[in-house]
Every structure is written in structure tokens, then in C-alpha cells.
């Protein structure tokens, strides 16, 4: 990593995205020349995080966009002049329902948010990475993308797609000096799991070797490692941050 690198965090307004943002912001000026923080619907959450960190820096850019359309994403990157040499894709939505109740609109929304946005951003940012012959991409999948889950088949399928994308792009882009890795968080104490009751949370934790849910900050720490020079010889990795629940 050099001072000329820049970073785009897509989905920076979610719990995991905000934790990753807080973890990486101190690197502004040393490891990163610019940081773009993307939100689709709630940029105010990013503003609140920056305010809490007492950070008012012109090198931090809050940007908003719908990432579901390839053309819109490419136009947006050009319009905002986003020239990121590193990408974290933390955007995504969840769905809990039996497969027979899944309709076309929900499936499309899941694939758009969880997979397509990552693909279009990678396409848009690749020319710079290829020209520099360096880059680092971290995609956030899920434990369910590795193991599958009852009543979350559609969500799990989209997260599994990110794992396949990671491994494929690591092989394709490695000769160009670009690393692509993936995080697969397990049960994390975040808004996405707020629907679980206390009893459901306790029962779930009984199956986790470490016996507790993870914290967003722990996912952020793993993300920072994958992006940085200490992981310079790591690509194609699917790193479980799940307390040992899934062993592969």
C-alpha cells in the first residue's frame, strides 16, 4: 500500500460498513489519499460517524447511489471522479422466508444489492487497478453463503455468489497484482440480526464454539488486515469471522 492509494467503501452506512469505516479512517493521509464512503439510503449515518470522530476532511467523500444498474454505476463513478485502488463491498440486504414465498421482485432486489453492485463496481474500478498493477478488493459474504440456511435460501445463494466471484477474480486478476478476498461473518451483534429474540440468540450461541455473537469491530479488523500489506500474499481467501461455527 502506498500513500497514492484511495479507497471506496460501498455500503458504509450499515453496521458492518460503519465499523469498517471507523477502523480505516485513521489511515487517511498515510495509507489513503482519499476515502469515498457510499450509502444508498442513509448517508446521515455516515455523517454522524464522522461527526463523532471529529473528522472534517476534504479527502473524505460521502457519496450516494443505487448500484443495481451497470450503466448507472459506471456513470456515477465517472461523475463523482472516484478513482479507488481499493474496494470494500459491504452493501447488501437480507431476506428470511420460505422459498415458496419468494417472489421475483424480492429475488431481483437481493441479487441487485448483494451481487450485481459488487460486479459493476469492480468493472468500473478495474481500469485504474490494472494500469497501476495493484489493487485490493474485499467482498462481504456471509456464513450462510458457505453453509446454507433454512428459510434463507435466496439470501444464501447471493452470498455464495460473492464467494465464487472472489475465487474466480483472484485467479483472473492475480497476474495483474490485484488481490481479491472475501469475509464471511457469522452471527454478528448488528441490526441485521435484531429480529432474533433473546432466547433465539442464546440458542444460536450454544452452537458457536466461542459461545457468543461477534462484534462489527471484529469484522472490521479482519477487513483491515485483508486490505493491507500484511496480507500482501493472500488472495482468493474466504475468511470466516464466525466464532468457529463453520470449519472448512
Query: Using an 8 Å Cβ cutoff, are 205 and 187 in contact?
Result: yes
Query: Using an 8 Å Cβ cutoff, are 168 and 119 in contact?
Result: no
Catalytic site residue from 32, 89, 155, 233: 155
Higher pLDDT, 52 or 160: 160
Which three three-digit cell numbers place residue 120? 459493476
Q: At what angle do helices 216-227 and 15-24 cross, to 10 degrees?
A: 50
All structural domains of the chain, each given as residue ranges with its CATH number in brackets, are: 6-241 (3.40.50.720)
Selection from 96, 13, 81 nearest residue 48 by Cα: 13
What is the pLDDT of the chain when averaged over all its residues? 93
The model's pTM is 0.94
The separation between the first and the last C-alpha atoms of the chain, rounded to the nearest angstrom, is 30
pLDDT in tens, 65-120: 999 999 999 999 999 999 999 999 999 999 999 999 999 999 999 999 999 999 99
CA 119 and chain centroid, separation: 12
pLDDT band at residue 4, thresholds of 50, 70 and 90? low
Share of the chain above pLDDT 90, in %: 82
Cell 476532511 belongs to which residue? Answer: 57
Residue 89 annotated among the catalytic residues of the structure: no
pLDDT in tens, 170-229: 999 999 999 999 999 999 987 777 667 777 788 888 989 999 999 999 999 999 999 999
CA distance readout (Å), 8 to 134, 138, 172: 15, 11, 21
Query: Using an 8 Å Cβ cutoff, are 45 and 15 in contact?
Result: no
Amino acid at each position: 500500500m502506498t500513500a497514492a492509494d484511495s479507497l471506496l467503501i460501498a455500503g458504509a452506512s450499515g453496521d458492518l460498513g460503519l465499523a469498517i469505516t471507523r477502523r480505516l479512517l485513521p489511515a487517511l493521509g498515510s495509507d489513503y489519499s482519499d476515502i469515498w464512503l457510499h450509502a444508498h439510503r442513509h448517508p446521515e449515518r455516515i455523517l454522524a460517524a464522522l461527526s463523532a470522530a471529529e473528522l472534517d476532511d476534504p479527502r473524505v467523500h460521502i457519496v450516494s447511489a443505487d448500484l443495481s444498474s451497470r450503466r448507472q454505476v459506471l456513470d456515477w463513478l465517472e461523475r463523482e471522479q472516484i478513482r479507488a485502488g481499493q474496494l470494500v463491498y459491504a452493501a447488501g440486504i437480507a431476506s428470511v422466508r420460505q422459498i415458496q414465498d419468494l417472489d421475483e421482485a424480492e429475488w431481483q432486489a437481493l441479487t441487485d444489492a448483494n451481487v450485481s453492485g459488487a460486479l459493476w463496481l469492480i468493472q468500473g474500478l478495474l481500469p485504474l487497478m490494472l494500469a497501476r498493477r495493484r489493487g485490493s478488493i474485499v467482498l462481504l459474504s456471509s456464513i450462510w453463503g458457505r453453509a446454507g440456511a433454512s428459510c434463507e435460501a435466496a439470501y444464501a445463494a447471493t452470498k455464495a455468489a460473492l464467494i465464487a466471484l472472489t475465487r474466480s477474480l483472484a485467479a483472473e486478476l492475480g497476474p495483474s497484482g490485484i488481490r481479491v478476498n472475501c469475509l464471511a461473518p457469522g452471527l454478528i451483534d448488528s441490526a441485521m440480526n435484531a429480529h432474533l429474540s433473546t432466547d433465539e440468540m442464546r440458542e444460536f450461541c450454544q452452537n458457536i464454539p466461542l459461545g457468543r455473537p461477534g462484534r462489527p469491530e471484529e469484522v472490521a479488523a479482519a477487513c483491515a488486515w485483508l486490505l493491507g500489506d500484511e496480507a500482501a500474499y493472500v488472495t482468493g481467501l474466504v475468511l470466516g469471522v464466525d466464532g468457529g461455527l463453520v470449519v472448512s
